[in-house]
Each structure stands twice: as structure tokens, then as C-alpha cells.
Amino acid sequence: MALLKILHFPDSKLRIVAKPVTLVDDNIRKIVADMFETMYDAPGIGLAATQVNIHQQIIVIDISEDKNQPLCLINPQISDKDGLQITEEGCLSVPSIFDKVERAENITVQALNEKAETISFNADGLLAVCIQHEMDHLNGKLFVDYLSSLKRQRIAKKLSKQREKSL
């Protein structure tokens, strides 16, 4: 397994729309394993392949306290959603920035897992938020896109200054 480099806003590669995975093979399983390692190391609760410059529809999530409930979603689709919830979100691609975003409260998801098995389930609360957030990444969208353009500009400036300091 290997740690992957996480892209940071406003990197234009974060805007690339991911393509569906056509075959879940050992290469895809290695990507999934590397993504889990990267997410846990960051540390985060979700990671989309787009964030590590892999433009395929792959998401890894683990919202458990003990980091022992890994969930892999390949080619995820939301077939139903209802309710609204507003929660504070953060993102590994937008480090140290948090803001409130409105999302569906309940969702029904279909996807493949890393064994190429079709899975379908209902999600609510934090899991529903996390899945919607990561699926946005697969469509080239970031949580900051839900904020005003002024806030986005301030965030980009702040992150740019942080990068300059770390060089």
C-alpha cells in the first residue's frame, strides 16, 4: 500500500469529472487500499479518487470512531433522497476550512464494492452527508462551491498563504 498525494483547492484537477469503473480488478483494489491508507493517515472520514488525481468513480469512507468500518463505493448512484440537513463540512482538499452545507437527510445508494458485488442501502446523518460530499468530488464539485464566491475567494487566498508558509 502507498500514501497518495491529496490535491488541494483550487487545483483544476479537482474539477475533472470521474469516469465509471468498467472492471473491478486487482488494479482497482490496489487503488482502493491506497485510498483507505491515505484517508486514515490524513486523517479523514471520506476520500474520492478525484482528490488523489485518479479520475475514476471510487469513494472510500469510514465514519466509525475506531476506524474499523471501511466502506468502498465504486460507481455510486443515489436513487432516492429526502429531507434536508445542514451540517458543518470540511474536506481533505480544503484543509482547515469548515462551513455549513445543506444536503439531503436520507439517501438510497447503489454501488459496487471492491469485490465487484452490487450493494444497495439507505443512509442518513453523517454517512449520508459524507456520501453526497464524496460523490460531488466525482462530479468535479467541492463543498466550497455551495458557499458564496466571496467566501471561496477568501478560502483560496488563505490556502495559498498556508502553502507559501510551508515551502
Dihedral angle over CA of 112, 38, 7, 65, nearest 10: 80
Phi/psi of residue 98, nearest 5 degrees: -135, 140
Q: CA–CA separation, 78 vs 57, rounded Å?
A: 13
Helix %, strand %, coil % of the chain (to 5): 35, 35, 30
Q: Identify the active-site residue in 105, 114, 134, 164.
A: 134
Q: Is 134 a known active-site residue?
A: yes
What are the catalytic residues?
134
